Structure 1
Amino acid sequence: MLLWLYSAVLLGLLPFFPVVKFAARKRGNVTLLSRFSTSFPEGEEKILLHVSSVGEATSVKPLVRALKGKVAITVFTDYGLGRVKKLYPETPSRLLPVDIYPVVKSFLKKTKPKKILIYETEIWPSLLKAAKEQGIPVYFVSGKISDRSFKNYKRLRKFLKPLVDKAVFLARTEKDAERAKEVGFGRVFTVGDLKLDVPKPENLAELHIEGERKVLIWGSTHPGEEELAFKVHKKLKEHFPSILTVIAPRHVGRAKELSPPGKTAFRSKTKRISKNVDFYIVDTIGELASLYRYADVCIIGGSFVPGIGGHNPVEAVLWKKPVIMGKFCNDFRDVAELLQIPTAKKEELPELLKNLLSNETIYNKFCEDTFSSYLKQRGVTERILESIGERG
């Protein structure tokens, strides 16, 4: 009864959802009709992997690679779908149908997935009920339950427990595992955070820096963070006159909007940085992960301004580089804690960087501690594959 009430409420709210407006209003190629479509012939007899949006689409890369040819992907947002199609062009993908019971029941009957993997924790009641009825195993991989979600799930435990009691929850942390048990998941195991299994880039971007210089790389920056990078550069230049600041905006189109207070070079124009260049702007796509290897310190963007949540620091840690994040790294706080990555306020950053760059002993210990923590935590993909019966 509650499930039908949920479906009725969801149907009534559909016109107000920003991602599925009525009247055939489009975002990309997405209309309301695509939410009710249940066809997915390319996904038949495959493992169905569901991700939420853009960030999650990137995080599942190790798992998609490991399940190459066996997996099809569903995404909640149209922006996420665009990202998935770009990242995994050979993997079948589509939007997840609207979570109304008859719709998802039909979708699963037509698609006949071997298993359903839900990345992190998106609980779709109708999908879970239909999968349970059709005997399709469901796994929550790299599962997490935030403070806010935990409170809501506990209130709905009587409703949720029959839907998740047969599902397997493969938790990121012991804390997430304990919460999953309280919510009603019957089988819970801790495997770690899939974000830790980011692979090193296959193609290495080249960069030639003239002279012996301290190099700061600000990766995936957002509005407000470039200005912070300029201020930090100015203060550190008093102690390190030849310091070089490299900035890679998260959205490349913003690169031309930046106005650094010093001589500037752009990645699209040159791969050689002369001694008199203060700022190097990375206005190309897909090179940041390998450029991190040229840094003395990597500073992760999206974490010094609210509302973003930060970006994955592991791409920098892979190169055994010291990494610093801001206080607003909510989406990656657990990863930062596991890898002993410090989180700093804006005003703390210049002094922290000065001390780090001035003291070789502290610098080397920082690199060793972070990298050794990473080595202990990696291997999440293998643990997930073993748990879902797909290893080898």
Structure 2
Amino acid sequence: MNFLYYVLATLLYLLALPYLLYLRFKPKYKDSIPARFFLKHNPSFSEGGIWFHACSFGEVRSLSPLIEKIDPSSLRLSVITQTGFHEACKHAKAEVRYLPFEIFLPFWIRKQKVLIVMEAELWPLLFIVAKAKGMRTVLLNARISDHSYASYQRFAWVYRWILSHIDLVLAQSEQDAQRLQHLGAKLVQVSGNIKMFGTYTLSHAYAKAEGKRVVVVASTHEGEEALILSHVNLLPNDQLVVVPRHPERFLNVGLFLSEYAQNQGKRYACLSKQPTLDADVILCDTMGELINLYAIADIVILGGSFVEGVGGHNPLEPAFFGVKLISGASIFNQKVLFEAVENSITCKIEDLKNIFDSIEDYPKSAISHRSDIAPLLEQILGS
């Protein structure tokens, strides 16, 4: 099975080469494609470290509470996306790499003490090669949503094969644990969502304009800005800040917000060119600012929850700052986190207008409980 998969992956790589060469010229992939698929400036890790693998910006950031407890000289971080790479590089003494495409892993991977993989990064050869080189393997923050469980079951034999190479699976909930066991995971323990261990510190403190009510529309996806704003009646003293989830959408969202502001008779600015909050409608087009904006927000509308297929985004971050918190009803990927938040409001898009109009009648959100990270670290390291 392992050899057959390697052959198929090699054939896929060869077939995809023309497309990969095309993609490498797109800004979103200009660093990641050469590094992952051609090993450009992407050497192997030094041996003997503690290796975390995460896909992108959000997953890397959520690992911070664990990473901060580990000797920086032992830290190895691999990622998939460019935004994830830039976030990982903030851990100055860590070795940071893009994870190569699977056919390179048998030659690229060097033995580490443990491999910890975040969530759904189930690359078969990553675990197979790690085990072959004598590493302990851990799947962290594992979950299977209602939305995706049926597809997992259809390919249960594939997941059983992958999970057989994982020593410990740390699931977000009891339901996730049961589903993973059904799919063949050997040792499953419930550890909760790693984001519940997070601490939130500001990288920049924005001055809040006197008399303004700050409304942050956060982590929006394609078409969601227009959908949300068409169901929200802003007050004259409201200051709107929109934060798209993906940086490649900044330009198009900026064009939309500029037109929206003009139609509303409001002033528009983007944060990268005007790093103060002195406009009425603001596009946050820089990464890593969301926490800073939550800190001054009065109302947060969480995106990724009013469109299908995303499953919502992390409510703990805004709840930490006690905002009035609204989310769409599609939160299948964040159920565990929403259970840890008091007074969050979930609604269908057709109900958003009435809720927003009466938002002052709702209590502020709060995190109901937090967890100690020390036991989780012991589970991961096997100590």
TM bin, normalised by shorter chain, reads: 0.7 to 0.9
Which piece of structure 1 moves more, 191-200 or 90-99? Answer: 90-99
Unaligned 5+ segments in structure 1 are: none
CA shift digits 1:7-55 (9 cap, x unpaired):
1111111134489736996641455785475974543211111122344
Deviation at residue 66 of structure 1 after TM alignment:
2.9
Alignment of 1:1-392 (within 5 A): 2-17=1-16, 21=20, 27-30=29-32, 34-35=36-37, 40-67=43-70, 68-75=72-79, 77-79=80-82, 82-100=85-103, 103-108=104-109, 111-146=110-145, 147-148=149-150, 150-156=152-158, 159-160=161-162, 162-164=164-166, 167-211=167-211, 213-234=212-233, 237=235, 242-250=237-245, 251=247, 252-254=250-252, 256-257=254-255, 258=257, 259=259, 260=261, 261-266=264-269, 267=271, 268-269=273-274, 271=276, 273=278, 278-339=280-341, 341-357=344-360, 359=361, 363-364=362-363, 366-367=364-365, 370-372=366-368, 376-379=369-372, 381-389=373-381
Q: Which runs of 4+ in 1 moved over 6 A?
A: none
- Identical aligned pairs, as a percentage? 26
Deviation at residue 88 of structure 1 after TM alignment:
3.8
In 1, Cα distance between equivalents of 2:314 and 2:193: 11
In 1, Cα distance between equivalents of 2:35 and 2:297: 48
In 2, Cα distance between equivalents of 1:329 and 1:36: 37
In 1, Cα distance between equivalents of 2:376 and 2:301: 30
Q: What number of residue pairs does the alignment pair up?
A: 364
TM-score normalised by the chain length of structure 1:
0.79
In 2, Cα distance between equivalents of 1:58 and 1:154: 30
8 Å CA contact 1:117–1:138 kept in 2: the answer is: yes
Deviation at residue 114 of structure 1 after TM alignment:
0.9
CA shift digits 1:133-190 (9 cap, x unpaired):
33211111111234145314523366346433xx101111111111222222222111
8 Å CA contact 2:111–2:133 kept in 1: the answer is: no
In 2, Cα distance between equivalents of 1:71 and 1:124: 21
In 1, Cα distance between equivalents of 2:205 and 2:192: 30
Structure 1 residues 61 and 158 mapped into 2: Cα distance closer, same or farther (>3 Å)? closer
In 2, Cα distance between equivalents of 1:134 and 1:125: 14
Deviation at residue 124 of structure 1 after TM alignment:
2.9
8 Å CA contact 2:305–2:312 kept in 1: the answer is: yes
The one-letter code sitting in structure 2 at the alignment partner of 1:180 is L
8 Å CA contact 1:192–1:377 kept in 2: the answer is: no
Unaligned 5+ segments in structure 2 are: none
8 Å CA contact 1:336–1:342 kept in 2: the answer is: no
Larger Rg: 1
